[in-house]
Chains A and B, each alone.
Chain A
Amino acid sequence: MADSTRTIAAWEFQAAARSRWVIATALVFAVLCLAVTMLGMRSLREIGLSGVGPASAALINLGILLPGAMGLLLGGNTLVAAREQGVLPMLAVQPVPRTSLVVGPFAGIAGALVVSILFGYGVAAVVLSGIARSSDIGPLLALVGATIAVAVACVAIGVCISSLSRSRLQATSSAISLWFLLALGMDLALVAVAPAMRMGPVGLLVAVLCNPLEAGRVLALLAASPDGTVLGPFGAYLVDTFGTKGSAALLISSILAWVIVPLAVARWVLARSDL
């Protein structure tokens, strides 16, 4: 990473870490992680089960959805806010590569979000540590990794939205709309379309790879159940076709593409627009 990118990333990280909004969302995430973990464990005890598997399953939805929304909103406000506040023009006249103006804010915001996620899961881990078995550590770490990957991809998509937006209001509304589309809209569309189109597992796989939230969720579920049984027939297809490691690599690659492509688009847009 270029020195200028590191400098801008550190500046953005510091600004995000001092932001009341970021601190508040980190606390909300931590509280929700704690609540979901305790509720998950309580319901398990009531039916006579033990272990952290189902509790971590409850964390998967929270971990994919909330940090995803935070990433989209934080990323969506980077470039457009800097432009509105006159900071982007001041940065743009410094002798730094244009790529630093995109990758620097992305890295800083993503870093702040990763710290928030680790804090939230850290709180949950304290509760889970009393009952966790050594076999639970892998799936839990995979959950943390999948959450971080989804959040980072969402920051990148947010930065791309920011580069295309004319105002913070437009960026925020676009980020929220996209989150609804990724979190709910695509699932609802699949439910409606899949039977009519006789969409097989290949179609479902394409739909999963086109949605970083879904790719992260499947990745975390695959780590919790390496044979894919928790994912039903789709999981069986995935494991049979690509193997567990191959499936994980495919999903990680798709999330990585969701980081690289939006940042490249943002860089391209920035080079062709007035700052």
Chain B
Amino acid sequence: MTTLAVVARDVYKRYGRRAPVLAGVDLEVEAGSIVALAGSNGSGKSTMLRCIAGIARFEGNIEVCGRPTTAGRELRRNIGYLPQSVMLPPHATVFESLAFFARLRGVAPSSTAVPPGFLPDRNARIGTLSGGQRQRLTLAIALLGRPPVVLLDEPVSNLDAAGREAVWATLREVRDDGATVLIASPSPADLAGVGDRTVLLHEGRIVDDSPAVKGADPNG
């Protein structure tokens, strides 16, 4: 019997009087899998991640590890989340930032799931880092304490090929340890050979749900 890490039922999200960003989304995600949420800009994939993370209000029901998104701290203990764009204070160092979020989570800074050498120099100030290095740092923050559900919004948008491969290798390792990873990406081809499943969103609805990530095989 498979365990479901994320269960979403009839999820609606609307901003004001505009057309709904999410229009009745039903989604089940098995524990220990990597799922790509694909779709063009405005399709609702980032909003879906935010609803699952419990930081956007919605109509419907979402459970993460068996807990509703209203469960507050108990829910958030199970979630690691990387927003699409993060600008940490430029004067803070890499280690200070990691230690700050680790303390809030009640874990050690070394508990992040990224491999050695993934992060920039721990004493480097964030203002001196490249976009890719900052993205590595925020990913490391999202993986602090090895949460069972990891939500990543375009985690490789600023990374070069080597950086992307390092991220995918890390996420495969996280998945193999039993965690569930949901990745929002406008180009699921980037996730070729990484994801176990692709869910395609269009105008707030799931229009395709495929067992493997579509796109060009990087080895082929």
Q: Which residues of A pack against B, CB within 8 Å?
A: 3-4, 7-8, 11, 14-15, 18-19, 85-87, 89-97, 272-275
22 pairs of residues in contact across A and B, judged by CB atoms under 8 Å = A3-B103, A15-B89, A19-B91, A85-B86, A85-B87, A87-B86, A87-B88, A89-B50, A89-B81, A90-B141, A90-B142, A91-B104, A92-B54, A93-B76, A93-B81, A95-B73, A95-B105, A95-B106, A96-B73, A96-B76, A273-B57, A275-B55
Q: Which residues of B pack against A, CB within 8 Å?
A: 50, 53-57, 73-74, 76-77, 79-89, 91-92, 96, 100-101, 103-106, 138, 141-142
User: What separation, in Å, do the CA atoms of A161 and B139 have in the docked complex?
Assistant: 31
Contacts of B87 in A (CB 8 A): 85-87
Contacts of A3 in B (CB 8 A): 103
The DSSP consensus for interface residues of chain B is mixed
Of the candidates B54, B74, B100, which one forms a contact with A93 in the assembled complex, judged by CB atoms under 8 Å apart?
B54
When the two chains form their complex, are residues B53 and A89 in contact, meaning their CB atoms are under 8 A apart? yes
When the two chains form their complex, are residues A90 and B57 in contact, meaning their CB atoms are under 8 A apart? no
Of the candidates B83, B88, B89, B101, which one forms a contact with A94 in the assembled complex, judged by CB atoms under 8 Å apart?
B101
When the two chains form their complex, are residues A92 and B55 in contact, meaning their CB atoms are under 8 A apart? yes
When the two chains form their complex, are residues B83 and A86 in contact, meaning their CB atoms are under 8 A apart? yes
When the two chains form their complex, are residues A7 and B103 in contact, meaning their CB atoms are under 8 A apart? yes
When the two chains form their complex, are residues A97 and B53 in contact, meaning their CB atoms are under 8 A apart? no
Chain B residue with Cβ nearest A273: B57
Contacts of B56 in A (CB 8 A): 274-275
When the two chains form their complex, are residues B77 and A90 in contact, meaning their CB atoms are under 8 A apart? no
User: What separation, in Å, do the CA atoms of A274 and B56 have in the docked complex?
Assistant: 4
Chain B residue with Cβ nearest A98: B72
With A18-B89, A94-B104, A94-B105 already in contact, 10 other A-B pairs whose C-beta atoms are closer than 8 Å: A7-B100, A7-B103, A14-B96, A87-B86, A90-B101, A92-B54, A95-B76, A96-B76, A97-B73, A274-B50
User: What separation, in Å, do the CA atoms of A273 and B56 have in the docked complex?
Assistant: 7
Contacts of B53 in A (CB 8 A): 89, 92-93
B211 CB to nearest chain A CB (Å): 29
User: What separation, in Å, do the CA atoms of A7 and B106 have in the docked complex?
Assistant: 11
Contacts of B138 in A (CB 8 A): 90
B35 CB to nearest chain A CB (Å): 18
Contacts of B86 in A (CB 8 A): 85-87, 90
A136 CB to nearest chain B CB (Å): 39
Contacts of A15 in B (CB 8 A): 89, 91-92
B64 CB to nearest chain A CB (Å): 11
B58 CB to nearest chain A CB (Å): 9
